[in-house]
Structure 1
């Protein structure tokens, strides 16, 4: 990797210290931007097609017609990885509505700001090393998920204030906050989807509620179906999670991370979590390293 990381800003590779956007950029002023967190394994972006679909869905929700092709976006990611001599990496792709007059109402003509940056992350797959050192500790918080009618949970935008407020409630040694919806049903973590296992059935809050349709979440459900593991997406109370035999979190960086405790109650992983983690590693190995 270079001494100073190179970021891809509006079509140009620049040193991180020179990577800037205007203070009038709507992504800075209003959080008016879409983004995706991706994982590159062996130089291949895992589940790229699904990330593109979600990115475009977010842009459609925002009425943000950025005009960039899938190939162009993928090319900028590839250039960023190559310039930083990275094969195994965390990658973030952001598209803002760009600089527009200082009014809340967005203008239809968009000159987007497009930023890609990457940082090294350990190899994945069967020979990889975990990016987390131990199982996660989790606490529930008073901050509630924003209802879909106010801000669709499926839109992955720069506005993360909801999650930030939740994280401020956590004890200093806790890894993740789990939020409830307005009806006090379990929704998700600030940056993760929640799964639990009870009586051999894999269960997770439904995206019918204010739950982000995580790409890793989707892969885990696919792997469970292929492995013959019963699954259920539904509405759950905290007591359902606390009574579980296994609990784990998913996101693109953590992949599958077992949960050691929820509000101090010991739970942990187990055979279903271990099985799905192994199947996930096998898929990464096959599609990115094989």
Structure 2
């Protein structure tokens, strides 16, 4: 593999950063995980906007234009001859004097890494082999007043500690008052009586790119949608549930803890339901239209 490090394409063995880089020392860095379909980034503008918002939250003025960042992503995909890929774009403040208070960002560290993923769209294949399982964990989501929820930073200890509590595919995290927020790496949706629900962004919930796409698709499909504050029992009693993120796209949720979602419904063996399937199909169709036009999609 070849990666993009500070303006250059280098072999994986040479893709290194300084041990004094603030991203390594303090987690003082921003990142985005992006999916490439057919050689181009999915929802690039939304990812670029969220990366910019994270950098603003960190007061990390790296001075690199969005078009240049996209060019680096493209060069990394081309260097590895990849069209269907996972992409991670990271920006740190770089090497600075060893003190907690950062100085001006005069020499940021910018890294793009990629790895192969199956193609998407109607003719694609899933990166997961079956519906997800999850557990509600004790680790609480960090409140927005302590660490900006909308910032995707290298400091991912909150999610790591949550994942360490479970052997399930995902850890469902609550806020300090016990309300459902999200998974360690995903947004959570559930369906009750035909209405799609997801926790509101007024709580400590990351505004997921795939989350936004799914909400837009639900509106287009005529599926009633509500956002709000939900207790764990609201999800446990749901007819259907699913998780969304860049890699999983729309992944049905079969159970949380010992509770099967939609227990008693004939769709439970599929770990999904009519609304989940409808949105997954709509997502695949969107990817196919945008990225594989002219193919058999």
Give the alignment's TM-score, normalised by structure 1: 0.97
How far does the alpha carbon of each residue in 1:70-91 deviate from its partner, in whole angstroms, 9 at most, with x for none? Answer: 1100000000000000000000
In the alignment, is residue 202 of structure 1 matched against residue 205 of structure 2? no
Would the aligned equivalents of 1:64 and 1:110 in 2 still touch at CA under 8 Å?
Answer: no
**Which residue of 238, 255, 266 corresponds with 1:261?**
255
1:57 is paired with a residue whose SS is: helix
In the alignment, is residue 36 of structure 1 matched against residue 39 of structure 2? no
Q: For 1:8 and 1:264, how far apart are their aligned partners in 2?
A: 44
Name the residue aligned to 2:103.
107
RMSD: 0.6
How far does the alpha carbon of each residue in 1:68-127 deviate from its partner, in whole angstroms, 9 at most, with x for none? Answer: 011100000000000000000000000000000000001024310000011000010010
Measure how far apart 1:181 and its partner are: 0.2
Q: For 1:58 and 1:147, how far apart are their aligned partners in 2?
A: 16
Would the aligned equivalents of 2:62 and 2:105 in 1 still touch at CA under 8 Å?
Answer: no
Gaps of 5+ in 2: 262-270
Q: For 1:135 and 1:178, how far apart are their aligned partners in 2?
A: 15
Measure how far apart 1:29 and its partner are: 0.2
2:138 is paired with a residue whose SS is: strand
Name the residue aligned to 1:285.
288
Q: For 1:167 and 1:252, how far apart are their aligned partners in 2?
A: 18
Q: For 2:291 and 2:177, how far apart are their aligned partners in 1?
A: 41
Q: For 1:84 and 1:47, how far apart are their aligned partners in 2?
A: 21
Runs of 4+ in 1 over 2 A off after TM superposition: none
Q: For 1:110 and 1:245, how far apart are their aligned partners in 2?
A: 52
**Which residue of 82, 86, 90 corresponds with 1:90?**
86
In the alignment, is residue 160 of structure 1 matched against residue 163 of structure 2? no
Name the residue aligned to 1:184.
178
Q: For 1:165 and 1:107, how far apart are their aligned partners in 2?
A: 30
Name the residue aligned to 1:275.
278
In the alignment, is residue 60 of structure 1 matched against residue 56 of structure 2? yes
Q: For 2:234 and 2:174, how far apart are their aligned partners in 1?
A: 13
Give the aligned length. Answer: 284
Name the residue aligned to 1:238.
232
Gaps of 5+ in 1: none
1:144 is paired with a residue whose SS is: coil
Q: For 1:184 and 1:69, how far apart are their aligned partners in 2?
A: 40
Q: For 2:17 and 2:9, how far apart are their aligned partners in 1?
A: 14
In the alignment, is residue 7 of structure 1 matched against residue 10 of structure 2? no
In the alignment, is residue 21 of structure 1 matched against residue 20 of structure 2? no
